Structure 1
Amino acid sequence: MQDTPKGNRIHIAFLGRRNAGKSSIINAISNQQVSIVSNVAGTTTDPVYKAMELFPIGPIMLIDTAGLDDEGYIGNLRIEKTKEIMNKTDIAVIAIDCKNENFEYEMYLKEKLSKRKIPTIIALNKIDKVANLDEAIVRARKQFDNIVSISALRRENIDKLKEKIIEQVPSNNETTLLEGIVNKKDLVLLITPQDLQAPKGRLILPQVQVLRDILDKGAMAMVLKDTELQEGLKNLYKKPDLVITDSQIFNKVKDIIPRDIKLTSFSVLMARYKGDIRLLIEGAKSINNLKPGDNILISEACTHHSLKGDIAKEKIPNLLKKKIGGEVNIDFSSGEDFTKNIEKYKLIIHCGGCMLNQKQMINRLNKANEKNIPITNFGVALAYLNGLLKRVSEMF
């Protein structure tokens, strides 16, 4: 894996009316023709994503969106898609045409973003097209702060806009998967089963991210399959400081790894990194309250073809049935479409969310929490169902 995962990039959404210059601003920031630009209102339909590096932040994701004043049935669908972008937005840039004197749409946007606590910048665009710039700035300042006056067409003040973006970066941006768990010179054992579900020729994303974080921390890693675990332990020159396994083989690994060695899983680490580990632990404990016939949602962030032994379709449902002592009604969702009507569920079990950014994952957790619906993730749920929840989370 050569590129920074999408879920690890700071997501910067460019919002506003049609023809406010959102696409032109993105093109100016990236120095590329990322989005098609024209004088025709509504040129941008679906969201357009551009990954790039912005020093000193690092990897970011620019998101171009459809105008919030789009019209007609299709226009309304585009607007809904734009609103969904807010669920993953870390920083918002509202583009405003300098000649605009009515800020109805922009005020609506600002209110929505403020409620979500999303840092917002106002890009007062097309300063090359207005006769009285000072008047336009005064007009905008009556309604907004954090304003940058720019011309995307002439690339004027684009560097100032970049500086504003850098200032808004969340303070927790430097947090990593193994923060506070792994120290320099530690030895970490990674158990990566290569079964039918393992992708051909590569490790899965959480394994790659954990391995990189181990190296960044100046620690040492040993990677092996579960079938070589016992032999690998014999060949180590010292006892590992931490063992990280795939959650699906908790039951196999727990009896091999001595109790005095810290044990967790890639998915449990992802739960801590992307979400609220305490909330997810409490969600897993609620499995004990489930009864036959209860409704459960199992949700995955990515879409993939299910194979024999699939964790979401087979392993978790089978363990739940065994634990509860009867059948439960399970619905499945995948991709970015997190089910809107979740009130009927007694529990939501979510994947690790490696393809989501932290903002998306937190929004999903908050949505469940607001409805008083317990939510957990695959790894935390499997730890609970295997009687390992305390052991795999005691280090946090």
Structure 2
Amino acid sequence: MNQTPNANRLHIALFGRRNSGKSSLVNALTGQDTVIVSPTPGTTTDPVTKAMEIHPLGPCLLIDTPGFDDEGELGEIRVERTLKIIGKTDIALLLCETGDAQEQEWLQRLKERGIPVILLLNKADARPNTTELAEQIKASCGQPPIIVSAKDGTGIEAIHRAILEKLPADFGEQTITGSLVAEGDVVVLVMPQDLQAPKGRLILPQVQTIRELLDKKCLVMSCTTDKLKDTLCALTNPPKLIITDSQVFHTVYEQKPAESRLTSFSVLFAGYKGDIHYYVESAFAIDRLTEQSRVLIAEACT
């Protein structure tokens, strides 16, 4: 499960002030010394991620962030990086100390993005007034915090339960091929093995797509571009769907049967990762381009 792609993992991000114990809590949640821990405020200067399987949550990506109260010119840059993590967060763990205006502001910021938030009051082992602080946070933030201690493990199981309760009902139900195919459909995958392909292996999107199609009980045939014609001739009926590598899209389009639908791995994964709607919307800008327009072309594949 540690090989699960990050895009398919539950992204759990920790937010809070410097020295609020975020890094220690990441280590407690993972059961490993994942993040460097120090009593010096500002030790975490960049977001730190750890991908692993956490029972009973499954494959997760834990994200430790710099404190949102960081100061100075570098501090502002770190806070900006913390803000960017919000866009990648499925569930937020917000470490509160008093429930003051700044903590309320970040709680509101997360809720406005539709992100489920779990409030935590950390360092229970070192606070003589934990109960009073918890009531104060509840009064100011509108929900009670889970009292935890990264040092002695108090509240870790309660965090797991809270995450399961906050888990979106449809999390993990998104599929690569969606409703394009059903059981018994014939699907042809056109996969050119060029210099960019890893020797002796298929690239991960191809592997994931094949596995999903097999799980859906589809009939899967794979071929390289030069063998597409032979593959189609070997079939009694045209395939329901053809999925191709983008670089040979035009070549495959010219050979495909009229009855067969055609898409690419890139398009499918743009939909799988939630980007396709933005790409479709952006494509309409092409009609508005003039001779004075400036176009930025960004490679989206890492």
TM over 0.5: yes
> How far does residue 153 in structure 1 lie from its aligned partner after superposition?
0.8
Q: 1:297 to 1:264 in 2, by over 3 A?
A: same
1:138 to 135, 139, 153: 135
Q: Which piece of structure 1 moves more, 279-288 or 152-161?
A: 279-288
1:277-296 → structure 2 map (5 Å cutoff): 277=276, 280-296=279-295
> How far does residue 118 in structure 1 lie from its aligned partner after superposition?
1.2
2:151 corresponds in structure 1 to 153
> How far does residue 235 in structure 1 lie from its aligned partner after superposition?
2.5
1:272 corresponds in structure 2 to 271
Percent of aligned positions with the same letter in both sequences? 46
> How far does residue 108 in structure 1 lie from its aligned partner after superposition?
2.0
1:102-113 → structure 2 map (5 Å cutoff): 103-113=100-110
The answer to whether the 8 A contact 2:9-2:59 is kept is yes
Q: What is the rounded CA distance, in whole Å, between the counterparts of 1:287 and 1:72 in structure 2? A: 42
Q: What is the rounded CA distance, in whole Å, between the counterparts of 1:195 and 1:212 in structure 2? A: 22
Cα deviation, 1:119-151, whole Å, max 9, x if unaligned, reads 111111111212233212111101221521111
SS of 2:94's equivalent? strand
Q: What is the rounded CA distance, in whole Å, between the counterparts of 2:153 and 2:219 in structure 1? A: 46
Aligned length: 300
Q: Which piece of structure 1 moves more, 75-84 or 42-51?
A: 75-84
1:115 to 112, 116, 121: 112
Structure 1 outlier segments of 4+, above 3 Å: 54-57, 196-202, 236-239, 276-283
2:30 corresponds in structure 1 to 30
Q: Letter of the 2:212 partner, please give it.
A: D
Q: Give the gaps of 5 or more residues in structure 1.
A: 304-396
> How far does residue 161 in structure 1 lie from its aligned partner after superposition?
0.4
1:316 corresponds in structure 2 to none
Q: Letter of the 1:23 partner, please give it.
A: S
The answer to whether the 8 A contact 1:26-1:64 is kept is yes
Q: Letter of the 1:54 partner, please give it.
A: I
| Structure of higher RCO (CA pairs closer than 8 Å, 6+ residues apart) | 1
1:21-100 → structure 2 map (5 Å cutoff): 21-96=21-96, 100=97
Q: What is the rounded CA distance, in whole Å, between the counterparts of 2:212 and 2:46 in structure 1? A: 34
Q: What is the rounded CA distance, in whole Å, between the counterparts of 1:71 and 1:282 in structure 2? A: 38
TM-score (norm 1): 0.70
Q: 1:218 to 1:58 in 2, by over 3 A?
A: farther
The answer to whether the 8 A contact 1:91-1:165 is kept is yes
SS of 1:297's equivalent? coil
Q: What is the rounded CA distance, in whole Å, between the counterparts of 1:131 and 1:154 in structure 2? A: 15
SS of 2:87's equivalent? helix
1:199-238 → structure 2 map (5 Å cutoff): 199-236=198-235, 238=237
Q: Letter of the 2:265 partner, please give it.
A: F
Q: CA RMSD in A?
A: 2.2
Q: Letter of the 2:137 partner, please give it.
A: A
